[in-house]
Amino acid sequence: MIHPCGIVVITAVVFALAAPGAGAADVSPRDSLRESAAADAWPLFRGVAGCTGVSDSKLPDRPAVLWKRSFKNGSFEATAVIVGDAVYVGSLDGDFYALDLSSGEERWKLHTELGFQAAAGVRDGVVYVGDADGVFFALDAATGEKKWSISAEAEINGGTNFYHDCVLFTSNDGKLTCLKCADGSPVWQYSIENMLKCAPSVAGNRCFLAGCDGKLHAVDLDKGEAVAKIEIDDPTLSTPAASGDRVYFGTQGGRTLAVDWRKSEIAWSYEPKRSGQQVKSSAAVAAGLVLFGGHDRMMHALDARSGQEAWSTAARANIDASPVAVGDRVVVGTQRGELIMWELKTGKQVWQYEAGGRFSASPAVAQGKMVIGNDAGDLFCFGAR
């Protein structure tokens, strides 16, 4: 079996270094520290810049299927995003869709050759997304018209994020790229010595990257330079969740870590009873808990400060997708094709839906609705009938 974090050769690309400028579309430091997505939108892979996977929206106790769209050659690994009355999501068959949130009807689509694994980011009427061919697009959210695109020269797996008037994304050649939102002009690039498959997590003027080089990187977003490189021993595919002074993520070695980014040290490390089972699931951080699934076929909740287990419960299948905390519940999809919802505090299962296809994508929750796709090409919207 080839390890997902294989060694890659980094090709140097020269970028001009410039500080992100202020503008009318800036995201303030206070906005970038928000730890839950507003009830009316899910504009990024994990809902907010810090990638905490928490929504202020609400879901019914037993969500019902409001609509389902099946795409003949489709397969969804990318997490959908929801802004306004639209859903934006890419498929592995090469199509990126804008759909009506209420009905699932297609508004527009963009076709590429190799498809999409990365979640988009939406801001100020523009959709930003990268594809498996290494092309990063800025598209008009209403029409799908291409505003600009650039080649990253390597596959893009991680979701999009923003800082001030700039857009951020990672690529498999180990680069974090910062571009101007307006025209795609380069600001800076930061490189690690192996692949980057995570989305960039942003808190204030810091970006956190958990890479295949076995390090957590803290990057100054104003300078494009590392302020810390913390040894974590294992490579990782999960996106760090930044909450307060800590960053939480799982590793390919089966451990889940809390890193104090101010002290540049590991605060705690947790390994489940079935040790050595990789954790690809990006953690959600809510109500003082760190929530994630793993290849031990379990859903886990840990105390965010101590790392002590609050509860763990069987999911009966590997979990590669990332959970979302909404209200007093947490929901995730499994590799068995089930969506499962548990009580946040107790781990008691309260709802389950068998979809058939496997879930690698994570839920997007906004406006009382949950949108998620599976590898069978089915895209679901759940909510109250």
pLDDT at 32: 57
- pLDDT average, residue stretch 174-202: 96
Write out pLDDT tens, residues 166-184: 999 999 999 999 999 999 9
- pLDDT average, residue stretch 25-43: 69
pLDDT at 274: 78
- Distance (Å) of CA 52 to CA 33, 75, 82, 254, 326: 10, 25, 16, 20, 11
pLDDT at 8: 36
pLDDT at 11: 33
CATH topology classification for 36-383 = Methylamine Dehydrogenase; Chain H (2.130.10)
pLDDT at 13: 36
What type of residue is 332? V
Mean pLDDT of the chain: 91
pLDDT at 378 over 60: yes
- Distance (Å) of CA 65 to CA 70, 266, 273, 383: 13, 42, 36, 7
Structure tokens at 84: 């306004």
pLDDT at 12 over 60: no
Residue 288, judged by CB atoms within 10 A of its CB (0-12, 13-18, 19+), counts as middle
- The full 3-state SS of 63-82, as one line of letters, equals CEEEEEEECCCCCCCCCCEE
pLDDT at 153 over 90: no
Count H helices and E strands in the chain, helices first.
1, 33
Structure tokens at 148: 């600009």
pLDDT at 273: 83
The three-state secondary structure class of 292 is strand
Could you please report the per-residue DSSP string of 163-202? Answer: ETTEEEEEETTTEEEEEETTT--EEEEEE-SS---SPPEE
- Grade residue 31 by pLDDT with cuts at 50, 70 and 90: low
Give me the phi and psi of 32, to 5 degrees please.
-75, -10
Domain range list for the chain: 36-383
Write out pLDDT tens, residues 351-370: 999 999 999 999 999 999 99
Provide the sign of the torsion angle of the four alpha carbons 255, 52, 365, 135, taken in this order: negative
pLDDT at 3: 46
Whole-structure pTM value: 0.92
Provide the sign of the torsion angle of the four alpha carbons 138, 144, 146, 152, taken in this order: positive
- pLDDT average, residue stretch 72-94: 97
- pLDDT average, residue stretch 323-334: 98
The percentage of the chain sitting over the pLDDT mark of 90, rounded to a whole number, equals: 87
pLDDT at 26: 32
Structure tokens at 231: 């040894």
- pLDDT average, residue stretch 286-309: 97
DSSP for residue 120: P
Structure tokens at 262: 């101010």
The whole-angstrom separation of Cα 72 and Cα 90 is 14
- Report the Cα 4 to chain-centroid distance in Å: 17
